[in-house]
Structure 1
Amino acid sequence: MSRVLRASAIMAAGTMVSRVTGFIRSAVLVAALGSAQMGDAYTVANAIPFILFDFLIGGILSSVVVPMIVRRQKSDIDGGRAYEQRLMTVGTITLTLLTVVAVLLARPLIGLYTSDWSPRRIEVAVTLAQFVLPQIAFFGIGALAGAILNTRDRFAAPMWAPVLNNVVMIAVLVLYYLKAGSAGADVGTVSEADLALLGLGTTAGIVVQCLVLMVSLHKVGFRFRPRFDLREAGLGEMVRTGSWTLVYVSVTQLGFLVTTNIASGAGAKAAGAGNTAYAQAFQLFQLPYGIIAVSVITAMLPRMSRSAAEGDLDSIREEFSSGVRLVASLLVPAGLLLMVLGPAVTVMIYSWGNNNPDDAVYIGNVLQVFGLALVPFSIFQLLLRVFYAFGDTRTPVFIGAGNTAVSIALSFLASAVLPARYVVMGLAFALTVSYIAGTGVAWALASRRVRGLQGRVVAAGLSRMYMAALPAAAAALGVLWLTQELTDLNPLSAAIMLAAGGGLGMVLYLVIAHRMRIPEVSSVVGMVAGRVGR
């Protein structure tokens, strides 16, 4: 566990700064665009590059490329250097072609993800999409560079590079707000020049992020020289293995398509309760997951891939079990605190500029529902890496298909029976239920694959963590009630709630968990105390 903890701590530090600056970016974004029509137009347009990247490239990078690079580093005479050159060559060509095609198809792509929008709103979204779609190439090349860095146990740059992206975007959004004012939140009055500033500025942030990763890759000795001897690139193996990943991403994107259309339709009927509310709540929900779970996942996959290649199932079981318990030791209290303090978080962040305070509260209500999903979502992602370590991308497809089927069914049910104002909360609940079910199925299959995942040890650890976290949630709830009795909910009172309720809750949890001798919490406390004492 100590190795995972050290590697995860390095990445968590970068991710923490990235997420904090991401908080600021989100606050400035909603202040400049609002969370109604203009905010939804930007949210959908800016999501499409990432959708296309994940659909065609991203899933293969996360599940296939890292294990393949690790194997070639062990088997090739040159340590896999030529193989990495071929991958970068193929990736650059493919991503460039994909970007050109995507820009040409911007209008039908926007139409695919919207419902009941006015012609002007669609036109604004199409214009923004044409400016932001070039992100695909830069984001993809940067992701490939990050994958190569990870296989060399260099985790810092991929976690710190998004910070610069956020800084660029904050500057762009502040400039946009100062230039456009209240007109910048109205699709009917926003100018073409303002849309160009917003769209090109968004792409500029990703360009900077990519450059940082390429510079870091150069520092560890990688020199990009195009290689076209692609017969040695292992593309056949990649296609065979990655085809299942492509199916998996297709299945999950089907769920996203349904969610986006339902949310956009709800937003058209109830301002502030559409795509922006869902996207911002989901981003905040991802904060603890991104800081804690992603760091552990990134450190685990190369190690489990090496153990799988050597047939060492004991190491895989231990790596996974310790990773789950380490992740849960902080995500358990975080999930409960999100369920209590969700509106306080969003009022503090989003009650500024062109956004309505009531809409900020609504984002917080959605965040409260997402709090239920935090632990099962994170464990589910850890479970998928067990399959990926063996090069098995087929099993996650069937698990993902079941997840998506549950989510889609519940999403349509929410759209049919709930008032428009509550539909997005229903979508968040649908996602929560789907990941609870998916985690159960994935655990059973992964446990069979490696002959046990130390389930009793993990269950006992989670039970003790929840016992330690419940008093923390109760304390935060008490602070919330007392603050609301004394004053109305506004950014200042929300900040007090978070500082007092969230701070007291986490301190109480750490003290109780430490007294209960939960080893994962004791390791975290000991590491922090050691660093503070230096």
Structure 2
Amino acid sequence: MTGGLYRSSNAGHRDGPYGDGQAPPLIDAEEARLTVPDTDTLGGTGEVPGAEPPSGGGSTAGNSLIMAAGSLVSRGTGFLRTVVLTSALGAAVGDAYTTAQIFPGLIYEFLLGGILSSVLLPLLVRRRKSDPDGGQAFTQTLLSLAVIMLAVATVIAVAAAPLLTMIYASEESTGEYRDLVTSLSHLMLPMIFFTGVSALFSAVLNTRGHFAAPMWTPILNNIIVIAAGGAYLVLYGASKIDPGAMTADRIAIIGGGTLLGMAVQAAGLIPALRKVGFRWKWRFNFGDLGLRELGRLGAWMICYVVVNQIGLIVVFNLLNRAGSQGETGPLMYNNVYLLLMMAHGIIAVSIITALMPRMSAAAADGRLTDIAEDLSRGMRTATAALAPVAVVYGVLAAPIMVTLFGHGAIGADDAAATSIVLISASIALIPFSVSQLFTFANYAMSENRTAALVNVPVVAVRIAIHVACFMLLDARWVAAGLMIGNAVSYVVSAAISATVLRRRIGAIGMRDVAGSILKVMVAAAGSIVVGLLVMKLLPGDDTPSRLEAFLNLVVGGAAIGGAYLGLALLLRVREITQLLDMVKRRIRR
């Protein structure tokens, strides 16, 4: 976790950069070995001298576009799912649902989540290249062990649901609230098993150059949960109710629908596995997996996860305390965090995912300069692409919150009152993405220890700010203060990681990065002025009606986007011109 909550979108896979609930896709192993960044996306040129043509997997630009398109649709349906559930459940019941939904994700993180991306995925790529059978037997053995572990953990977790509720729900919450969290978690904790299976299947597909299914099957998940939320609205209507009024049938529809969505997502990957020629055969020769090496590398990742979970316990307790006082609680804070992760996932995750295997290959070959160049490109591209989104979130916070969440059991006034949380999130967006880029650079170099040690002071800073905000601020400002605490911790993480990486790989082109960021900041400042002027001319105030909010969002968003693009072109922001050139070439084709 990275200071936010597990999202309802796509059933709560691991956080970090892959906040959409999907397993992190990989570029094809052959491409990772043979090519450097594609000119369409990251400003590189050509192939490694003397390399043979890649056997498959397409270009980096093509794979990135597949991932971005799948992520866009997946996150779009995931956000619709969030809107439907928010409208159906309201604040109090929605807070309980959000709290219960964290449990499967956190246990998955302990078992597999962090280790999958930082240890197992690179190992699967290496075995795919080096083993005579293309890593088939190794992968079958790994899946067999993982499935057994996931099944056992799921049974234990369901039995321990009341203990989890006691840890993560505030002591100030009512007994009915805690009982509802426990009842929902009994239905939703089996998601641990299906989440893990889905992530492993996705990893197998990615290492075999197949990206479509892992990016698109979460849509099935979202559709099922949207249907469950719709059924709840049809049967019971959209009205605020207390947690004690949630009957067994209401709980079954919401909790059971969420579980079914993840089960279908995992099952939807099976045809794709057959298509790439992978067959799952039970193998129990676990000694062949090199468990000692996996344990050594995984131990630092577990340390990373444990530290994050301590921070998460603090966040949930503080939010549940604020929610018990009628202010912004886990549900609406989580909805805002979803907006932050949507932008990060569509833009930054595609960049990080394209760079990760290339940085891993460069690290294996000792090409540290190439890693530095990729980091520089990644920072410049992510910052330039995310800046206008951050401006839109900050300037149009109230229209966004009313348009998306001011429905059903959540009124327009209640939604507008949470806009300050989105303004705080707009400050956190770019620091979060940059910090994640640095973290995954450490993973690419198998520096799990470094990532874990950097995380300790980062989470300590975050917790200190969170607790201070809760003690010093009025309850209505607590959620916004927590988001600011996240932003500060992301800056600290990026600063420490950059210092450590510079000592390891040399200069990472900060002069070029600073020059690009300066131009981006000027373009963003201009778009802020344009956005505020347009908002002054449009109807509505701090609490616009739904129609006014939608009008402000459409017109204001267009004005901000147009102003930023125009200023970026005028200032010759190279990353924006490259992205536009790529789009033009794609359209011509």
> TM bucket by the smaller chain?
over 0.9
Q: State how 1:360-379 maps to structure 2 within 5 Å.
A: 360-379=415-434
Distance 2:543 2:471 in 1: 34
Render the CA deviation track for 1:21-74: whole Å, top value 9, x for unaligned. Answer: 122111111100012x10111000011101111122101011111111122223
Deviation at 1:460, TM superposition (A): 1.4
Distance 1:119 1:488 in 2: 34
Q: State how 1:74-85 maps to structure 2 within 5 Å.
A: 74-85=129-140
Q: State how 1:69-468 maps to structure 2 within 5 Å.
A: 69-115=124-170, 116-182=172-238, 185-269=241-325, 271-468=326-523
The alpha-carbon distance between structure 1 residues 485 and 81, as it changes in their structure 2 partners (threshold 3 A), is: closer
Distance 1:4 1:466 in 2: 28
Distance 2:208 2:90 in 1: 42
Contact 1:184–1:190 under 8 Å retained in 2: no
Query: Secondary structure in 2 aligned to 1:406?
Result: helix
Deviation at 1:485, TM superposition (A): 5.3
| TM-score where L is the length of structure 1 | 0.96
Render the CA deviation track for 1:334-363: whole Å, top value 9, x for unaligned. Answer: 112211112211110111111122221133
Contact 1:407–1:434 under 8 Å retained in 2: yes
Query: Secondary structure in 2 aligned to 1:394?
Result: helix
Deviation at 1:232, TM superposition (A): 0.8
**In structure 2, what is the equivalent of residue 19 of structure 1?**
75
Deviation at 1:216, TM superposition (A): 2.0
Deviation at 1:466, TM superposition (A): 1.6
| AA partner of residue 86 (structure 1) | T
Contact 2:535–2:552 under 8 Å retained in 1: yes
Render the CA deviation track for 1:126-161: whole Å, top value 9, x for unaligned. Answer: 110000111110011111112222323433322222
Distance 2:482 2:407 in 1: 26
Distance 2:258 2:240 in 1: 15
Contact 2:397–2:423 under 8 Å retained in 1: yes
**In structure 1, what is the equivalent of residue 5 of structure 2?**
none
Please identify runs of 4+ aligned residues in structure 1 that moved more than 6 A.
none
Render the CA deviation track for 1:242-268: whole Å, top value 9, x for unaligned. Answer: 100000011011111101000101110
Distance 2:541 2:296 in 1: 62
**In structure 2, what is the equivalent of residue 59 of structure 1?**
114
Distance 1:20 1:109 in 2: 30
In structure 2, stretches of 5+ residues that fail to align are 1-36, 39-58
Between 68-77 and 391-400, the greater mean CA deviation after superposition = 68-77
Give 1 or 2: higher helix fraction. Answer: 1
Query: Secondary structure in 1 aligned to 2:245?
Result: coil
In structure 1, stretches of 5+ residues that fail to align are none
| AA partner of residue 232 (structure 2) | Y
Contact 1:4–1:323 under 8 Å retained in 2: no
| TM-score where L is the length of structure 2 | 0.87
Distance 1:218 1:359 in 2: 49
Contact 2:398–2:542 under 8 Å retained in 1: no
Contact 1:138–1:206 under 8 Å retained in 2: yes
Render the CA deviation track for 1:359-414: whole Å, top value 9, x for unaligned. Answer: 21133220110110111100111101111111111111111111110011011111
Distance 1:325 1:150 in 2: 26
| AA partner of residue 462 (structure 1) | I
**In structure 2, what is the equivalent of residue 45 of structure 1?**
100
Distance 1:487 1:207 in 2: 42
| AA partner of residue 309 (structure 1) | A
Query: Secondary structure in 1 aligned to 2:277?
Result: coil
The alpha-carbon distance between structure 1 residues 233 and 486, as it changes in their structure 2 partners (threshold 3 A), is: closer
Distance 1:463 1:220 in 2: 46
Render the CA deviation track for 1:63-95: whole Å, top value 9, x for unaligned. Answer: 111111122223322222221111111111111
**In structure 2, what is the equivalent of residue 514 of structure 1?**
569
Q: Percent identity?
A: 38
Contact 1:344–1:494 under 8 Å retained in 2: yes
The alpha-carbon distance between structure 1 residues 485 and 129, as it changes in their structure 2 partners (threshold 3 A), is: closer
Deviation at 1:484, TM superposition (A): 4.1
Query: Secondary structure in 2 aligned to 1:373?
Result: helix
Deviation at 1:416, TM superposition (A): 0.7
Distance 2:393 2:456 in 1: 28
Contact 1:142–1:214 under 8 Å retained in 2: no
Deviation at 1:223, TM superposition (A): 1.0
